[in-house]
Amino acid sequence: MNELDYINCEKKLYNYCIQVNEVGFFNFESSINGSKLLEFDNNIYAYNNYGLFKLISPALKLWQKIHLPIELTDNINFNFIVLKDYLYFYTDLELWKIKKCDNWIDGWIKVTSKNKDINEVIMVKPLALFNQNIYGITYNAKSFKIVKSPNLEHSEMLWELAAPESFNNIEKNKDVAFMTIVNNRLYAATNTLQGDFNNENSYLLDGIEIWESKTGNIDSWIKINTPGFGVKRNINNKTIYVNQLISSFSIFKSANNTTESLILGTSSVFGAEIWIYNGEGINGWSTLFLANNTCNIISEIKSILFFNNEIHIFAVNFN
């Protein structure tokens, strides 16, 4: 079933839910991972491994397939992100962008990314826009680097290092789970799983890290959590650190609060967790208890949405 077909809403919200597509798109079988949604240029889009689709008429369940600059195949990993006036489309090998109001057929611009210091071509995955710079992630065989570029309007982007490589822990910090802006500060979160999701030996290092920067400069980052939030268990005479992967996050502001809060969900074979950050440093974290009516362990927080002053969570168990 496609994620857009899945309308298992809270009962009190059910009357507000309508299905806006037929099963799949254009008679395609549903994507194995479902579809994701994005908003761009005041329109709703859905994308999966069959393409990018624009919602034309919710009442008629009418979608338009959008022209992409390259053909999608099963072996291409890709994603989209909206940053300011551009929609970015990136794969493991290429980066493209298109500006609001441009024609889908000839409006795509291929972006060349280069290391500013040595003028070498690199591949960058854009993640956030902060202080007039795009922040992204680039990888080598053993680590990652957070980089930034001010070249928002150009087809060639020069990138410079914006944080210590793998936050000075190449052995542990394997990936960036997300970057986002909360209360005018830039945040980056790391994934630290060391191997297979189901193998307890993948959980022996002390867990995910959350970093905060007021300026986005390389020397401005501060770690704001106890690694893995300090959650550990003794299993088979091993110290297991449960929180190694972040699977979702969101930003919310309650009705009686003037500041934003960051909420994130983890994924673990030993049980998923939800953590909320109030902006007050290493002691600013609290956990949200998940009432589970089944005997199965919730293994992944798939999605978090703040709506109508309530937090809605889509959780999955792998048991």
- What are the boundaries of each domain within the chain? 78-162, 171-318
* Residue-level pLDDT at 23: 63
pLDDT of residue 279 exceeding 90, the answer is yes
For residue 50, the model assigns a pLDDT of: 86
Considering the chain, what is the average pLDDT of its residues? 87
pLDDT at 2 over 50: no
Q: How far apart, in whole angstroms, are the C-alpha atoms of residue 186 and residue 116?
A: 22
161 within 8 A of 184, measured Cβ to Cβ? no
Rg of the chain (C-alpha set): 20
From the candidate CATH numbers 2.40.128, 2.60.40, 1.10.10, 3.40.50, the one assigned to the domain spanning 171-318 = 2.40.128
- Mean pLDDT value across residues 286-303: 78
The answer to whether residue 33 scores a pLDDT higher than 70 is: no
Question: 44-48, 146-150, 176-180, 294-298: which has the minimum mean pLDDT?
Answer: 294-298
pTM of the model: 0.85
What gap in Å lies between CA 185 and CA 215, rounded to an integer?
Answer: 7
Judged against a pLDDT cut of 90, whether residue 193 lies above it is answered with yes
pLDDT-derived band at 4 (thresholds 50, 70, 90) equals very low
Judge whether residue 32 has pLDDT over 70.
no
